[in-house]
A and B are shown apart, each in its own frame.
Chain A
Amino acid sequence: MAVEQSTARGAEQTRIHNIGYRNYDGPRLGRAYARRSLYSQSLRGAYGLGRSVKSKVLPMLLFVVMCAPALIMVAVAVATKAKDLPVEYTRYAIIMQAIIGLYVASQAPQSVSRDLRFKTVPLYFSRPIETADYVRAKYAALASAMFILTAAPLLVLYVGALLAKLDFEHQTKGFAQALVSVALLSLLFAGISLVIAAATPRRGFGIAAVIAVLTISYGAVSTIQAIADAQSGDSNAIVWMGLFSPVTLIDGVQTAFLGATSSYPGGHGPSAAQGIVHLLVVLGLVAGSYGLLMRRYRKVGL
C-alpha cells in the first residue's frame, strides 16, 4: 500500500513516497549459499575487487609482475624459434617465489585480520553459517587466489609454447604437472599464511610475520643446504633439510613426482621414499593449518 506522505520539511515541494515496510517471503538459500557467497566475496577481495582503488593496486601489480617474465620468455621463444622454453613449467613458481610470498603476505591478513580487528566475525556467526563454513570459505578463497596468481603465467607459457609450435605432448605434460605443483603450493602457502594472519588482528604484524616465516625459513634452509653441499655433498642430509621450508617442500615433491629438476643446491633430489615423506609433510601442514584455523575461530564466537 503506497501511502503518500509529504514530509515535515516538505516546504520545497519534496515528497517522500512512503511505501511502508515490506516483509520478505522470497527464498532463503541457507548455509551452503552463504558459504559460496563468502568464498566469492573473499576471492574477489584478494584482488581488490569490490574494495577501494587503493587496495587493488598491490595485488594487481603483483599479478602483472608475476606474468611479465612469462610473456618475455614466450616472446623470446617465438622470436628465436627455440626448441624449448627457457624455463621448465615447474621451475617458474620457484623462481618467482618472492612475488608469491609478497602476495600471500599482503592478502592473507586482508582476508582474515580485518574481520577480527573490526569484530565483524560475530556477525557471521549470528547467521546460519558456522565456524567450519567460515574457515573453509576463507581458506578456499585464498588458495584459489594463489592458484590464479601462480597458474596464470604457466598458461601464458603454455599458450606461447603452442604458438611457437613446440612439441605438444612434452609441453602439455609439463604444463599439467606444474599445475598440480602450484595447486599444492597454493594450498600450503594459503594455509600457513592464514594461520599466522588469524593469530593477530593487526594487519601489519600479519604481513610481517608471513613474510618472515616464508622467506626466513627458505633462506635458512637453502643456506644450510648449500653449506652441506659444499662441505660433504651428502645428498640425504640436503634432501631432509628441504622439509623445513614451504618452498623447498614443494620443490622436493615436484622433483620426486612431477618431473621437475631439483633446485636444491647441487641439484640433489629426493628419492621416491623421500618424496613421499615430503608429500606427507605438505598434506600434514595443510590439514594442520585447517585444524588450527578451526580451533582459532571456535574461540572467537560472539
Chain B
Amino acid sequence: MSRRLWGLTTGMGCVTTFGDVTVIATESLSKRFPRVTALDRLSVDVGPGVTGLVGANGAGKSTLIKILLGLSPATEGRAEVLGLDVATKGGAIRERVGYMPEHDCLPPDVSATEFVVHMARMSGLPPAAARERTADTLRHVGLYEERYRPIGGYSTGMKQRVKLAQALVHDPQLVFLDEPTNGLDPVGRDEMLGLIRRVHTDFGISVLVTSHLLGELERTCDHVVVIDGGKLLRSSSTRDFTQTTTTLAIEVTDTDEHPDGTGAVREALLARGVTTHDSSGLPGAGHILLLTAEGEQTYDLVRDVVAELGLGLVRMEQRRHQIAEVFKDSDEQRKEAIGHGG
C-alpha cells in the first residue's frame, strides 16, 4: 500500500495499550445533591477489558460517568481515569476517552459521515485524519452506503451505530457506553453486544458499559461492577459470578409405567436424600428438575435413578448462575434492613 495514510498505523488487533494497569480507580467517591446521594463512598478498581456497570435506574451509573469524564466534581473522595486525576486533568481524560450517551444525540438533517467528521475534529483530529478515521470507523461499526444519507432516516440500530462511531472515531483508550442496547430489538441487541466485544478484542479499546439488563453483560463483559443506591454491591470477574455453584437441569421422558416421569424422578431422588429445587420460574417448568451438583456422585446418582425407573434421559445440563441472583440477594438484604429499621 503506497497510499499515504494521515497518521494512521496498522494495528495488530487484540493489543491493549496498557498491560495490567488500572483503567479506572475510585476511592470513597461520593456525590451528594441537596436531596439525594447519588454515589456513596464508592471504591472500585477497573482493569483493561470490557467492564459492565450494572444498576437499576437511578443507581448512580450516569453520575459516575459524569464524574469520570471530569464534568462534575465529586463531593468527596477521588477518582482516576487512565492514571489521570478527574478533578484536575478532565481535558486530558476527555481527549483519550470516548462517550456514547444513553439518549438520542444525533441531528437528523446531516449525514453520518458529516456528523462523525465534525465530532472527530472536536476531539482534535486534523481535517484529513478526521475524514479518514470517520470512513474507517463507520465501516467497522457496520455502516456502509447509508452513511451519506441524512441520519433522520436511519433505524434505531443504525443510529446506535453512529453514536458508537462518534465515541470511537478519535481512537480512545477507553470508551464509556451508556445503555448502548436501549431500544434495540433482540437481533440488534446481539449485534450491538458483538460489536462491543470487538471494540476490545479487535480495536484494543477498554470498555465501560452500563446496563440494567444483567444477562447481556454476562455474555459480553470480563468483569462486572454492580452498584445500587450509589453503593458498591459487588465487583468481580464474570467467571466468579457464574461459577460459584453448579445447578443441574434434568429432563426425562414419560413412559406408560410412569406417566409423570419428572414426578417419579423427583420422588426417587427424594427417597435417596436429594431434594430438588423449585423450577417454577423457568420455561418448561413442569418438565424440568433442578438440583445442586455436589460432585461426580450426583451425576452418577441421576443416571442410576433414571435407569432404574426405565425412563429416557432427554437432557442433563449445567445451568450457570445468573448475575440476576446478585440482585435477588441484595433485595432480600434490603428487605431485611427495612424490616429491622421498621
A binds B: yes
A125 sits at the interface (CB 8 A)? yes
Chain B 105-132 per-residue mask, 1 if CB under 8 angstroms from chain A, else 0: 1111110001000110111111001000
1/0 contact trace for A14-29 toward B, CB 8 Å? Answer: 0000011111111111
Q: Does A231 contact B (CB under 8 A)?
A: no
CA distance A278 to B11 in the complex (A): 62
Nearest Cβ distance between residue A109 and chain B, in whole angstroms? 14
Report the separation of the CA atoms of residues A129 and B71 in the bound assembly, to the nearest whole angstrom: 11
Identify which of residues 225-251 in chain A touch chain B, using a CB-to-CB cut-off of 8 Å.
none
Contact status of A29 and B126, CB under 8 A, knowing A122-B101, A126-B71:
yes
Q: Interface 1/0s, chain A 53-71, versus B by CB < 8 A?
A: 0010000000000000000
Interface membership of B203, Cβ < 8 A: yes
Query: Within 8 Å of chain A (Cβ to Cβ): is B171?
Result: yes
> Closest Cβ of chain B: how far from A231's Cβ, in Å?
52
- Asked if B10 and A1 sit within 8 Å, CB to CB, the answer is yes
Q: Which of A21, A128, A302 contacts B66 (CB 8 A)?
A: A302
A119-B103 CB under 8 A given contacts A1-B10, A126-B94: yes
Once A23-B171, A37-B121, A126-B71 are accepted as A-B contacts, the answer to whether A119 and B105 lie under 8 Å apart by CB is yes
Contact (Cβ within 8 A) B9 A23: yes
Q: Which residues of A contact B118 (CB under 8 A)?
A: 37, 41
Are A2 and B94 interface neighbours, CB within 8 A?
no
Closest B residue to A19 using CB positions: B10
Q: Tell me whether B72 is interfacial, beta carbon within 8 Å.
A: yes
Q: Does B166 make an interface contact (CB < 8 A)? A: yes
A38 interfacial contact with B, CB 8 Å: yes
- Report the minimal beta-carbon distance from A44 to chain B, rounded to whole angstroms: 11
Residues B10 and A34 in contact, CB atoms below 8 Å apart? no
- Across the interface, do A128 and B124 meet the contact criterion of CB distance under 8 Å? yes
B77-94 contacts to A (CB < 8 Å)? 91, 94
Q: How many residues of B contact A (CB 8 A)?
A: 51
The reply to whether the CB of B140 lies closer than 8 angstroms to some CB of chain A is yes
Residues of chain A in range 126-149 having any CB-CB distance to chain B below 8 Å? 126-130
Q: Give min CB distance, A297 to chain B, whole Å.
A: 12
Contact B8 A24 (CB under 8 A): yes
Q: In angstroms, how far is the closest chain B Cβ from the Cβ of A113?
A: 11
Name A16's closest neighbour in chain B (CB-CB).
B139
Which residue on chain B has the smallest CB distance to residue A1?
Answer: B10
Residue numbers in B under 8 Å from A125 (CB-CB): 71
Question: B126 and A127: CB pair below 8 A?
Answer: no
Distance (whole angstroms) from the CB of A17 to the closest CB of chain B? 10
Closest to B151 in A: A118
The answer for the CA separation of A122 and B202 in the assembled complex, in Å, is 27
Q: Judging by beta carbons under 8 Å apart, are B72 and A23 in contact?
A: no
Please tell me if the beta carbons of B171 and A24 are within 8 angstroms of each other in the complex. Answer: yes
> A118-B106, A123-B166, A130-B91 in contact; A24/B7 too (CB < 8 A)?
yes
Tell me which residues across on chain A come within 8 A of B12, comparing CB atoms. Answer: 1
The answer to whether B114 and A50 touch across the interface, beta carbons within 8 angstroms, is yes
Interface residues of B in 162-178 (CB under 8 A from A): 166, 170-171
Within 8 A of A (CB), among B1-29: 1, 5-13
Verify if B308 is at the interface (C-beta below 8 Å from A).
no
Q: Nearest Cβ distance between residue A112 and chain B, in whole angstroms?
A: 12
A31 interface residue (CB < 8 Å to B): yes
Q: Is the CB of A20 within 8 A of B122?
A: no
Known: A20-B10, A123-B101, A301-B71. A128 touches B107 (CB 8 A): no
Residue of A nearest to B17 (CB): A23
Is A91 at the interface (CB under 8 A from chain B)?
Answer: no
Given contacts A34-B121, A34-B124, A50-B114, contact A24 B133 (CB under 8 A): yes
Contact across chains for B66 and A26 when beta carbons are under 8 A apart:
no
| A28 smallest CB distance to B (angstroms) | 4
Which residues from 32 to 54 on chain A have a C-beta closer than 8 Å to any C-beta of chain B? 33-34, 37-38, 41, 50-52
Q: State the CA gap A169–B44 with chains docked (Å).
A: 73
Contact in complex: B62, A34 (CB < 8 Å): no
Q: How far is the CB of B87 from chain A (nearest CB, A)?
A: 15
Residues of A that sit less than 8 Å from B by CB: 1-2, 19-31, 33-34, 37-38, 41, 50-52, 55, 114-115, 118-120, 122-130, 301-302
A-B contact pairs, 11 of them (CB 8 A): A20-B13, A27-B7, A27-B129, A28-B95, A34-B124, A52-B109, A114-B107, A119-B105, A123-B166, A126-B99, A126-B101
